[in-house]
Structure 1
Amino acid sequence: MNAVPKILAVVGGGRMGAGIAQVFAAAGATVTLVERDPAAAAAARERIATGLRRAAERGRLADDATVVLDRVEVAAEVAAVPPAAELVIEAVPEDAALKTRVLAAAEAVVGEHAVLATNTSSLSIGGLADGLRHPERLVGMHFFNPVPASDLVEVVVGPRTADAVRDAAVGWVGALGKTEVVVRDSPGFATSRLGVLLGLEAIRMLQEGVASAEAIDRAMELGYRHPMGPLRSTDLVGLDVRLAIAEHLQRELGDRFAPPQLLRDKVARGELGRKSGQGFYTWGEAR
């Protein structure tokens, strides 16, 4: 039976990174979570603590929440990643230059057999691997929000990803109790390419006054059995994140991914979705 790495690190402690750290810690791994400064690192650990409390309340945690949290250490620099880490997952913002720097810094710390993974939802695995001494050790592990509740991880195989690295990633996904889909490195992979296209069309419909956000989402939830409508999903992902992905896909695949003006306007106003308290919906608590 597959097992999670005994020691791993997650770089980036936002909602996504904290969720990734939480599920690995809950599965028994010792996790180092790296953020940009001590205050952000402390906030990330509290984010995990909150997630663990909620999981325990719902009966979804095998161990005591305090025991799981004790498996998580936080740090404010990539140099603190344990040299013995078997896996390092970067979950920093969707910026190629930033991700490249983080991955190169992690490669300089860990051993030669460690796997490096990127949580990117759209950027080229091959392009990110160009900044590594050993590009064959990089694989995409694209988790979904909210990570503890989501069943899917998209494993993205770059042009130089070693077969053993791909197989290790697939095994770790299974050890988390999640299901992988393995896809070839291409713009937007499978999930972002389809999900963003649907989300952008829903935003255009809202912009054109076709229906309310609630009606558009309800139509997809009840008519097509989507667990969450495309506008509520955009709020959860973050409007700024969706805009950045759309712009990237427009450059790579053409104007069918052109962001609607409504999306640009909301991002310019700071209406980023759940994390800001306002997006296509009003949220009771900004996260």
Structure 2
Amino acid sequence: MTVGLVDGEPFTYYDSNIRKEVPRQDWVTKAVGPDYWGKNTQTYIGIEPVFKNNIEVAKQRFNQTGGIHTVQWMYGCDWDDETGATGAFHLYGYDGSDFIALDFRTMTYVAPVVQAIPTKQKWDSDRAELENIKSYFTQQCIEWLKKYVSYGKSTLERTVRPEVSLLQKDPSSPVTCHATGFFPKGIVVTWQKDGEDMYSDVEVGETLPNGDGTFQITSKLTVKPEDWKMNSYSCVVQHKSLQDDIAVLLEEKNIRTNQGGISWGIIIIIGYVAAALALIAVVVGVVL
């Protein structure tokens, strides 16, 4: 399967079941020509046996005979529209670990495992292909990225403010600050005691997708009830969509607990499972 991303937002998708590339955003259909989907579909159909062969080669290198294995190819470029700076990445993974990557400063491959050394030697010697790769990433990839950004600007540059809640299973459990429904992905969630940022007894989770194009994040504070009732604790959220930070004071009236026999923890776990399934699907073989 392949997934195309711009600023972390999926805009194209292909897998070997549907056997065709399809848009994931409305704006991309306006950014590309009608032959775009057919050409890419044929490219990905042609890549399928290459990936299968790569898995067989990797199995031999790692002395594996059976089991389920994955080969990942991830490549892309980035562009800073303020400074004009550009960059690129081009790397392969096997079974979820780094296998080989191209160093664009030296235009040579880096092999973090001994099993990748034969591949490094082979690819480093193909100077013509390296020049093609360099040309693609410094020119064509940047041109396409700029085009995608111009067409997808209303989606990529939108802002959606987070909803912030304090959650707790029972009085002895950590208090969780849950921010959800926000876009873009970047966000800062901190706990403060008497107006000062806290760095201990705090556990910040990963930023996870909600499935509707927005994101969620949690930050847990381990604190005794008698402590937060005697002092001023608050969860502070900073996000691009906000003119002023959101600060939720840790007090009983602001804490949501189990209701109707359904724990808020179960609801968040469902979100985590959905996110995990999405990530697992992407890991199978990503092409940016």
Say whether the fold is shared (TM-score over 0.5). no
Give the number of the structure whose alpha-carbon radius of gyration is greater. Answer: 2
Write 1 or 2 for the structure with the bigger share of helix: 1
* Bigger relative CO (Cα 8 Å, ≥ 6 apart): 2
Write 1 or 2 for the structure with the bigger share of strand: 2
TM-score, normalising length: structure 2: 0.29
